[in-house]
Amino acid sequence: MLEELKEQVYKANMELPKRKLITYTWGNVSGIDRETGYFVIKPSGVDYDELKPEDMVVMDLEGNKIEGKYKPSSDTPTHLELYKAFPEIGGVVHTHSPWATSWAQAGRSIPCYGTTHADYFYGDIPCARSLTKDEIEEAYEKNTGLVIIETFKKLNPNYVPGVLCVNHGPFTWGKDAMEAVHNAVVLEEVAKMAYQTESINHHAQHAPDMIKEKHFMRKHGKNAYYGQ
Ligand SMILES: [Zn+2]
């Protein structure tokens, strides 16, 4: 079932070690088939060297396992909440990539300092609030998803395809699993550059709104003209 999607999600997962976004098995990618409402996700704790497309786990949006011999990634309930809340996304990624995670651990949103950021993220990349003790004890991974959704109450997830979970790390998303990985790679680069920007100049200012507007909209707006 969903063999093509499994292959896509497998390839997207294999990009994480290739792009140096993860150490050991600290990351996961999923992709959804909106027609059936089933999504495919990496199994929990299987080494990347041993991972195969057929090992991907098929889940429904109620959290039932539909197919697969392994347990799904422990972050599955977070992915599930994001798919339910953001109907236009088709893929989700979670990593502990070091630069983005450093901002998450510092509890800071990543300011938009330039066009590399503005090409992909319309404005700052937000850092979500901490979970309460009850939220952690009750359903940690599901509530991680709900806190991300709360962070996006006034933000468009299609314009800001990523978030930092405080004291934890980044989640990104996109139209499919590969685009979500692409956004995870960009987020990591942007996190590194923002840190360096502040190291060079403690008083660095946000890029002007005009730059933010121009760079994001030429790639993603209604009248996008970037690329072929
Ligand atoms: Zn994590």
pLDDT number for residue 220: 85
pLDDT on residue 215: 87
Residue 195 falls in the annotated catalytic set: no
- State the CB neighbour count (10 A cutoff) for residue 194: 25
DSSP string, 12-67: HHHHHHHTT--STT-EEEEEEETTTTEEEEPBTT--GGG--GGGPEEE-TTS-EEE
CATH number, domain of 71, equals: 3.40.225.10
Residue 226 lies in a domain: no
Rounded Cα–Cα distance for residues 80 and 101 (Å): 22
Is residue 15 in some structural domain? Answer: yes
Taking the centre of ligand 1 as the mean of its atom positions, its distance from the CA of residue 113, in whole angstroms, is 26
Query: Which domain range does residue 34 map to?
Result: 3-220
Distance (angstroms) between ligand 1 centre and the Cα of 207 equals 30
Residue 150 included in any domain: yes
pLDDT in tens, the chain (228 residues): 999 999 999 999 999 999 999 888 789 999 999 999 999 999 998 999 999 999 999 999 999 999 999 999 999 999 999 999 999 999 999 999 999 999 999 999 999 999 999 999 999 999 999 999 999 999 999 999 999 999 999 999 999 999 999 999 999 999 999 999 999 999 999 999 999 999 999 999 999 888 888 888 888 877 788 777
Q: What is the pLDDT of residue 144?
A: 98
Decide if 210 is inside a domain.
Answer: yes
> How many structural domains does the chain have?
1
Sequence-distant (≥ 6) Cβ neighbours of residue 106 within 8 angstroms: none
Residue 197, in any domain of the structure: yes
Which residue from 10, 5, 27, 219 is spatially nearest to 118, judged by alpha carbons? 219
In a domain, 225, yes or no: no
pLDDT value for 172:
98
**176 flagged as catalytic:** no
CA of 213 to the centre of ligand 1 (A): 32
> Do the domain assignments include residue 228?
no
Instruction: Give domain status of residue 12, yes or no.
Output: yes
